Structure 1
Amino acid sequence: MYHLITGGSSGLGYEIAKHLILMDEHVIILGRNVDKLENATNKLKEISRKADVLSYSLDISIEEDIDAFIDTLETSGKPIKQLYNVAGTTFYGKISDIHKEDIDKVLKSNMIGLMLFTSKMVGFMLNEPYEDKRIISVLSTAALKGKKFETIYNAAKWGARGYLESLRDELTETKIEVINVFPGGMKTDFWKDSASGYDVDHFMDPADVARNIVKVAMDTKVYVTDITIGRPK
């Protein structure tokens, strides 16, 4: 059984993969940058000799690529135990600075890609005979409260949240559980090019956030539907 992680080559996605591998769990990481994927895969393979680490270069907003990836899973006999939706991008700026390409980029990564990829994977996971499967999606606290200069990002996360809550209701009678995670800011490259001016040194360590996500996701004795993770006050 494998754990599938979008955006697994860096940041929080990589840390989630790392924590799973420390538990000798098999992982498949996805990303668009081939070099980053290869580097991440090599580092992850050094952590455990028992865990299988696979990687695929994939754009989760392209339907043909997703179909080809699922065909690969079916052909190679790689059952998915958990899907972690972590991939995403952001935009920080005034309303007057927003252009169509900014909207397309943020919605494509955070909402459209998540909805398309998850929908396809649900079909695959429902056809597998195994039980106790989970979809864990990292949405950010931006899906809970609007914030100035993050309008597109907020909109994308709110849309993704609506999709996932509806998906949870649709999957109620199945063996797939849907968990949504709302973390605050983390010290990753996510905000590096956003011109936000945030002091990321005071943000959370992604390794700490990943550890808490994996702890809940792997505990099959409980089912937590929503998790908010923030810095201690």
Structure 2
Amino acid sequence: MNNKTVIITGSNSGIGFEAAKHFAQLGSHVVLAVRNEAKGEEAKHEILTNYPNAQVYVYYIDLAKLETVDPFVNRIQEKFSAIDVLINNAGVMMPPHTVTDDGFELQFASNHLGHFALTGRLLPLLEKGEASRIVTLTSIAYRYGTIHFDNLNGISGYSSSKFYSQSKLANLLFAKELDDRLKTHGYTTISVAAHPGLSSTNLFKLGKTETRWFAKPLLKLFSQPPSMGALPMIMAATDDSLQGGELIGPDGAGGRKGNPTIEEPKTDVYHSATMRKLWTVSEDLTNTHFANDNETVTRSATR
């Protein structure tokens, strides 16, 4: 990974930060793509304290706001001629029902739609990278998810857990459908999904200011630290044996913790009609259109 360019969304804390530290110490150019630049600078400072020669950059993007995608991509294009790894890691977990300025339910917007748009815009630079790949973070919660196409914004009924599961299922289906399309249309970039199992990160605040007192003992018992939770995404980003389309997760019981391995997804999760519909809906909602062959991808952020 020396001199490779790695972009990690949501990398100022949690497993994203752990992955950023890993790639920084290997000599990669690491972009911390964050919605809070002050916290991003703090994360950068901590990395440089441990690895003074690291190449770390802090760029602003809020995946819940489509208007921030193009300015972020423009900065990347000005700085880098190629991208080797894009890790779609940022996300929110079980907040109160919130509709974004773009009219989307917050979890679906932050966890899926924003990354869909970002990936489409960065694909030309990824194609210029060496053995480039896109890693999209899902969760074991995908196993309980359903895509509610008739109620994506939650206006007709909302459950924070169900809509979180929906967003994580969308992440998994996007990663697989993306890889299928990349192969079909002659791209060299591959797409891989990963999940951290149960990792003790700030996502478990569940919309609160801190993790609830009753959840902390359970997290210690059933979860693993962020340093372990980051390993599946690191494997997904670096393992030369991966061909694209795989799901990487912990090897322990239920995929909750352990060392990273290729995981067999839930039976029949890759439903082709659902995957195609999700892709079409995501294109329409974000005005993102992936090229049908290895050409420059164009996108308009105007809605």
Return the TM-score normalized by structure 1: 0.86
User: Residue 155 and residue 146 in structure 1: after superposition, are their counterparts in 2 closer, same or farther (change >3 A)?
Assistant: closer
| Cα deviation code 1:72-105 (max 9, x no counterpart) | 222223521100111000117xxxxx74549712
Aligned match of 1:59 in 39, 52, 62?
A: 62
2:16 and 2:34 map into 1 onto residues whose CA distance is: 10
Aligned match of 2:201 in 188, 195, 200?
A: 188
The reply on whether 1:175 has 2:188 as its aligned counterpart is: yes
* Aligned residues of 1:7 and 1:31 also touching (Cα < 8 A): yes
Aligned to 2:108: 107
Q: CA deviation at 1:33?
A: 1.1
Question: What SS class does the counterpart of residue 49 from structure 1 fall into?
Answer: coil
1:123 and 1:44 map into 2 onto residues whose CA distance is: 29
Aligned to 1:95: none
The reply on whether 1:231 has 2:272 as its aligned counterpart is: no
Question: What SS class does the counterpart of residue 43 from structure 1 fall into?
Answer: helix
Gaps of 5+ in 1: 93-97
Count of residue correspondences: 225
Give the alignment of 1:133-172 within 5 angstroms: 133-146=132-145, 150-172=161-183
Return the TM-score normalized by structure 2: 0.67
Gaps of 5+ in 2: 147-158, 251-255, 259-303
Q: CA deviation at 1:2?
A: 0.9
User: Residue 175 and residue 50 in structure 1: after superposition, are their counterparts in 2 closer, same or farther (change >3 A)?
Assistant: farther
Quote the RMSD (CA, aligned, Å).
Answer: 2.4
1:180 and 1:159 map into 2 onto residues whose CA distance is: 11
Percent identity reads: 24
Q: CA deviation at 1:163?
A: 2.0
* Aligned residues of 1:28 and 1:54 also touching (Cα < 8 A): yes
User: Residue 222 and residue 125 in structure 1: after superposition, are their counterparts in 2 closer, same or farther (change >3 A)?
Assistant: closer
Q: CA deviation at 1:22?
A: 2.1
Aligned match of 1:218 in 238, 243, 265?
A: 238
2:67 and 2:145 map into 1 onto residues whose CA distance is: 34
The reply on whether 1:85 has 2:105 as its aligned counterpart is: no
The reply on whether 1:200 has 2:219 as its aligned counterpart is: yes
Q: CA deviation at 1:47?
A: 2.6
Q: CA deviation at 1:210?
A: 1.6
Larger Rg over CA atoms: 2
Letter in 1 for 2:16: G
1:163 and 1:139 map into 2 onto residues whose CA distance is: 10
